[in-house]
């Protein structure tokens, strides 16, 4: 009987490992397909309505790829898991700058538009530095949530005002859309559907990746805290990674960089604000002190690198990626 019990447990472990592995691989595939569709649809819509690619990346793509973070943080808030809700936002923003911006710059040098360096980068930096102030009292209240959500609405309005390109940019819209793979001769309704399907695939793929990766990690004995700050954060940032890499490889750096910067802004203003509106998030500042310090430092570094006059190339990408790897190593070794 004992041998049969051991065999049954072994079979159960094998089936779970197969399930988690399948979920992980399926998530990666869905993320790639979803990113392709979202970028094609968004770039096509930008061409159809005359919206600058940077604005598409900062709003539609950034908001869409932030939905996995919102889902995870909202569910965590409902369940009273403030640590997961906050850790998801902080960890995802660190991953966006260290992992995603680093990999994207390694694959293809990124040319940053002047308006991004003057306006959106300072906003991203300000939201990152505001997090310790929000947690100074140990709670992100519903009043704080209202302020954050109003900030998200204000940022969206600011982007909408700058949506129409100048005369010099009109001719470039067609080339940008072609580079992004936008289909020709397609109406706005169909382009919207293509983008929405891509977004849905990104969200589903991100959730599948989190399920598979977290299951494998926990089976190997990795703590839930480390899983939350690393695997869960990377998993919910996977849509940003897929969207930015595809956009960069298709010669659309404005969408790639805009997606990363916009996602970090939306993660603080919309995701954290929305989660705290559902249920106030309580967490002592010292609990996430190390992570908030890393987020502030890498936000400053990314801002300085992106504000350079020359393209943000492989050296900058390697530096950002090295910083993220060092952060992961510190988490795993328990220095945080």
At 270-298, the pLDDT tens digits run 999 999 999 998 888 788 889 999 999 99
d(CA 36, CA 299): 27
Query: Which is it for the CA torsion 178, 182, 186, 188, positive or negative?
Result: negative
User: Could you tell me the domains of the chain?
Assistant: 53-161+210-333 (1.20.1420.30)
Residues 6+ apart with CB under 8 A from 319: 102, 301, 305
Average pLDDT, the chain: 78
pLDDT band, residue 265 (cuts 50/70/90): very high
Asked whether 227 and 82 are in contact (CB, 8 A), the reply is no
d(CA 173, CA 52): 7
pLDDT > 50? residue 336? no
Asked whether 248 and 110 are in contact (CB, 8 A), the reply is yes
Asked whether 236 and 65 are in contact (CB, 8 A), the reply is no
Q: What are phi and psi of 309, to 5 degrees?
A: -70, -30
Tokens linked to 335: 């220095």
pLDDT tens-digit map of 46-80: 667 666 655 665 566 666 667 777 777 777 777 77
Beta-carbon count within 10 A of 289 CB: 13
What would the mean pLDDT of 128-153 be, rounded to a whole number? 92
In this predicted structure, what is the pLDDT of residue 99?
93
In this predicted structure, what is the pLDDT of residue 173?
46
What would the mean pLDDT of 228-253 be, rounded to a whole number? 76
Tokens linked to 234: 């990377």
CA 209 to chain centre: 14
pLDDT band, residue 166 (cuts 50/70/90): low
pLDDT > 90? residue 307? no
pLDDT band, residue 7 (cuts 50/70/90): low
In this predicted structure, what is the pLDDT of residue 28?
73
**312 strand-pairing partners:** 110
In this predicted structure, what is the pLDDT of residue 94?
95
Between the alpha carbon of residue 154 and those of residues 151, 248, 266, 271, the distances in Å are 5, 28, 11, 15
pLDDT tens-digit map of 192-240: 888 888 888 877 876 787 777 777 776 777 766 676 677 777 777 777 7
Strand bridging mode 139-140 / 281-282: antiparallel
pLDDT > 80? residue 329? yes
CA 249 to chain centre: 18
What would the mean pLDDT of 1-24 be, rounded to a whole number? 66
d(CA 80, CA 92): 20
């Amino acid at each position: 009987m004992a041998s049969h019990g051991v065999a049954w447990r072994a079979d159960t472990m094998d089936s779970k490992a197969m399930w988690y592995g399948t979920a992980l691989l399926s998530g990666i595939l869905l993320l790639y397909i979803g990113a392709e569709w979202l970028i094609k649809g968004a770039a096509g819509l930008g061409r159809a309505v005359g919206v600058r690619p940077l604005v598409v990346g900062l709003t539609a793509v950034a908001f869409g790829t932030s939905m996995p973070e919102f889902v995870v943080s909202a569910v965590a808030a409902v369940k009273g898991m403030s640590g997961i809700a906050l850790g998801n936002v902080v960890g995802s923003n660190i991953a966006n700058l260290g992992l995603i911006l680093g990999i994207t710059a390694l694959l293809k040098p990124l040319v940053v538009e002047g308006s991004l360096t003057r306006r959106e980068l300072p906003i991203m930096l300000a939201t990152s530095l505001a997090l310790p102030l929000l947690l100074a009292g140990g709670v992100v209240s519903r009043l704080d949530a209202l302020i954050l959500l109003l900030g998200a609405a204000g940022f969206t309005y600011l982007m909408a005002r700058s949506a129409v390109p100048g005369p010099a940019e009109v001719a470039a819209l067609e080339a940008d859309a072609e580079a992004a793979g936008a289909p020709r001769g397609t109406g706005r309704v169909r382009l919207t559907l293509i983008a929405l399907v891509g977004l849905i695939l990104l969200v589903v793929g991100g959730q599948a990746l989190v399920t598979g990766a977290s299951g494998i990690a926990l089976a190997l004995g990795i703590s839930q805290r480390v899983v939350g700050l690393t695997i869960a954060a990377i998993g919910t940032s996977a849509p940003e990674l897929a969207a930015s890499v595809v956009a960069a490889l298709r010669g659309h750096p404005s969408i790639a960089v805009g997606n990363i910067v916009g996602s970090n802004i939306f993660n603080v203003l919309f995701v954290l604000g929305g989660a705290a509106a559902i249920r106030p998030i309580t967490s002592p500042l010292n609990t996430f002190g190390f992570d908030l310090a890393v987020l502030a430092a890498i936000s400053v570094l990314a801002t300085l690198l992106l504000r350079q006059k020359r393209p943000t190339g492989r050296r900058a990408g390697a530096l950002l990626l090295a910083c993220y790897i060092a952060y992961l190593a510190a988490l795993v070794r328990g220095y945080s």
